[in-house]
Each structure stands twice: as C-alpha cells, then as structure tokens.
Structure 1
Amino acid sequence: MADISVPETPNADAVADMRLFDYPDWLYLLREFDSLYRHGSAGGSRLIRAHRKRVRDMLSKTIDANPQITCRAPEAKPVTAHLARALDLGERGAVGGMARALERVTASLTWEYGYARVPKPLAKKYAYCEILGPRGPVRSERLVLGFVLFAPRTTYPQHSHQEIEESYISVAGAWSENDVAVHAPGSLILNRPGEEHRITTADLDPCLLAYAWIGPETRLNAPEMKLSSNRKARMTQGI
C-alpha cells in the first residue's frame, strides 16, 4: 500500500476559502471519475450513453468552477476493515487508476449508511462515502459521486431511489444485481429512477463500486433512502 498524504490543517480563516485546486488528491480522484464516464463503453445503449454524457458534463462544470472544499470529520464503519483488500484488488484490475486515486484520500473519507434504520447484519457489511455532492467534501447540488463498499457474502436488500438516476461502475470484486449477471471491474450498471434493485457480492472478496446520482437538488439533499418491504421485494422478484 502506498503512503497516504493528507494536507496540513490550515487555520480557520484559510479553511473558509480552500478550494478544489488546493487539494490535488481530490482533484485527481474526480478526474478519474471523468475518465470512467468519458472513455468507458455504453455497450450500444442509448440510455447509458446519455447518462454517461450527463455525468461528465455536470462533473466538468463542477471542476471548472473550482468549488470550495468542506472538510468533514473522517468516519469509519465495520466494513471499512475490508477497504485495503478492495483497493489492492482494484489496483490490479481494469480501473486501477481509480483505486490508486481513492487510496490517496482514504484517511479523509466519511463512511456512512444513509438509512435511518440499518439491519444489524447489513451494518457490518456495507457503507458508502460521498466524494462530490451536497454532503461531500466537494460541493455539488445536482450530481453526487461516491463509493459503496461491501464485504464478501453481502446481500444489499431490495431498494430504489425516487427521482434519482443511478449508475454503478465496478472498481473491485465481483457482484450481481437482481441475480441477472455477474459484473466484473470496469462494468457499468444503470438504474433508472424508481427501479427496484438488489445487490449480492462474491464469497471471498469485498466489492467496491463507484456510483453516480443525478436528480433534482431537493432530492439529492434528502434522498430518503429506504429498503423495500419484504412483500414489495417478493412481488418485484416475482416470488
């Protein structure tokens, strides 16, 4: 693992005016997101191609604006014990640049759940961190970028996001959405607003996904993440 460098803490007056270009590691991480959404394949899908363009256009505008940085207190969750392994796997895979860029800021990440109530088994096996967005260190009101980390043998229950268009790009580990296919590093999945989805991960290794959310400002500020009821999940899966 490479050494992790963290900028020295500036005084209070300086913090108020610290901007993206003052934190090269955050800037380089966002450029890795831009590269993923600019050069990755859409697989012939018009919807995915359009989504990729929306993400990179919003991201480019954000970077060009050199927004202020809001330093949040770093926070770990039980699943972050698997982060080092996920980054090791990611550096060997199709999106190694993203894994290396994320490694440079691991000491500054704020991992959270996003749900008012999290099932106890899931609390040990899942967390996410926002990089860019209303709650991220890099501020944006219409676009959210971040990472989701899963432990091995995790089932992330059925859920959906109202008014939010979501994509995942695999960084490390194998996973499946709605038991349809197995996705490897570099692959992208698009979930349209309101679409129910469920994630499962492989038996031996953790899974790290980069994600993007596009939606109205009010929704991204308060996404109201909720796990679907068992009855609704069974109906969606046709059980």
Structure 2
Amino acid sequence: MVLSANPDWLYLLREFDHVYRRGSAGGSAVIRGHRRRVREALSRIIDNDPEIGPREPHTLPVVAHFGRAIDMAATGPLAALARAVDRVSGQITWEHGYSRIPQHLARQYAYCELLGPQGPVRADCLIIGLVLFAPNTTYPQHSHHEIEESYVSVSGAWSENDVAVYAPGSLILNRSGHEHRITVGGLDPCLLAYAWLGPAERLAAPQMRFSKPARKG
C-alpha cells in the first residue's frame, strides 16, 4: 500500500511538515538550515508516494504512559501532531534500539521509527519518529555519528545537559557527534518527536550505544 492510500499516515507526515515549516528557528541560521533540510527531504518523500510496509506492532513497559502524554499534548502547541500520532498508535513498533540497556531504563524509555529505512513509511534519507520517557527518567549520555538530530517537545518537561528546561513546542538541535544526556521531570511523562538526517548507510545502521563515562583523575 502506498502512502496516498493511507490517510492517517499521510496526515501524520503533513503534521510533521507543519512543525518544521511553521515553527521558529529563534534567530539561529544553523537551526533554520536544519529545519529546511528536514522539510525538503520530507516533501520529496511525500511527493514520491512511498510504500507503507507495516511492521508488527510491539509495546514496551513505558507505553503505559503514552495515553497520559497524548492527553497532556491536547492543550499544547502540538495538539494536532499528537492527535495524528494517536490515530496510528495501534500500528506503532516500540523499541529500545540498543543491544544492551540498563534494566531500569528498559522500563522508562522507548522509541519508534515512523518514517525511515525500517518504516512503516519507507525512506532512506530521513528518519522521523517518537521518543517516550516515563517520569523521572535519566537517559544516559550518547551521541550520533554522522547523524544530525532534532528533538521537538510534544508534551512534558525535560532538560538536555542541564542547560534549560524545555516546554512543548521547543526544538533542540544536536549536531553530529554532540554528546547529550536527557532528564525528565518527576510528575509526568515526556513525548518527543525527532528527526535524523544523515547518509543513507548510517541511517540504516545507526549503531546506537551509550557513551562511556569519562575517567576521573
């Protein structure tokens, strides 16, 4: 089945396009360029009407917080995106993405790829997906080689590298190789949308791993 024959997925991608087209870059030329590259890649993909290859839906413990995350987004700036996500929620494959993951984190975190090499919407030049965190989660330090990443906050309060607290609607850019660590507030879950840009071979095999702690002394 192609994208145009599945309205729920088409509308979802249009909502992502809206986020990257209408939001502010806050005066940053670097962020403005990233937003442009994401929406240009996404527009090409939509115009090419790619195949949708449904994957087997899969859930993980943190998905118990998904409903609350969607409810919180209902009154926020990305309510339309959250509604579009909810429409396809029964078709989502939630994953950890790491061959080894701490036991406590396995209960507090999951991500899903909505568009990319693994689908369901097939593309090789862009990945779009979601990350869900339970309350009071610390997502360890990591980076992405040859991948430029942006997070867009859909619901919940979170911080990256203890620099600021980000509210729904915020966009945070991580350049290739940038080390970052995420913490989430203690009362509610956090739902982030994300986009990855990079070489097709890297997006197909991102080799996700946490950074080794720096040696002391």
TM-score interval for Structure 1 and Structure 2 normalised by the shorter chain: over 0.9
Q: Which residue is equivalent to 2:108? A: 125
User: 2:136 pairs with 153, 156, 164, which one?
Assistant: 153
Please say if 1:52 is aligned against 2:25.
no
Residues 109-164 of structure 1: CA deviation (Å, up to 9, x unaligned) = 00001111011010000000000000111011010000000000000000000000
Q: Secondary structure at the match of 2:36?
A: helix
Q: Which position in structure 1 is the counterpart of 2:53?
A: 70
Unaligned runs of 5+ in 2: none
Aligned residues: 217
Residue 189 (structure 2) aligns with: 206
Residue 154 of structure 2 corresponds to residue 171 of structure 1:
yes
C-alpha distance in 1 between matches for 2:119 and 2:65: 22
Q: Residues 1-239 of structure 1: matches in 2 within 5 Å?
A: 18-231=1-214
For residue 167 of structure 1, report the CA deviation from its aligned partner.
0.1
1:53 Cα deviation after fit: 0.2
Using the aligned pairs only, state the percent identity. Answer: 63
Gaps in structure 1 of 5+ consecutive residues: 1-17
Distance 2:38 2:119 in 1: 16
TM-score of the two chains, using structure 1 as the length reference? 0.89
Partner amino acid for 2:63?
T
- The letter for the 2-side match of 1:82 is H
Runs of 4 or more consecutive aligned structure 1 residues displaced over 2 Å after TM superposition: none
Once the two structures are superposed, residues 5-54 of structure 1 have per-residue CA deviations (whole angstroms, 9 ceiling, x without a partner) of: xxxxxxxxxxxxx1001110000000000000000000000000000000
Cα root mean square deviation, aligned: 1.0
Task: Give the Cα separation in 1 of the matches to 2:55 and 2:108.
Answer: 23
TM-score (norm. length: structure 2): 0.98
Which letter does structure 2 place at the counterpart of 1:195? H
SS of the residue corresponding to residue 178 of structure 2 reads coil
C-alpha separation in 1, matches of 2:10 and 2:129: 14
Give the counterpart letter for 2:139 in structure 1.
Answer: Y
d(CA) in 1 for partners of 2:205, 2:102:
21
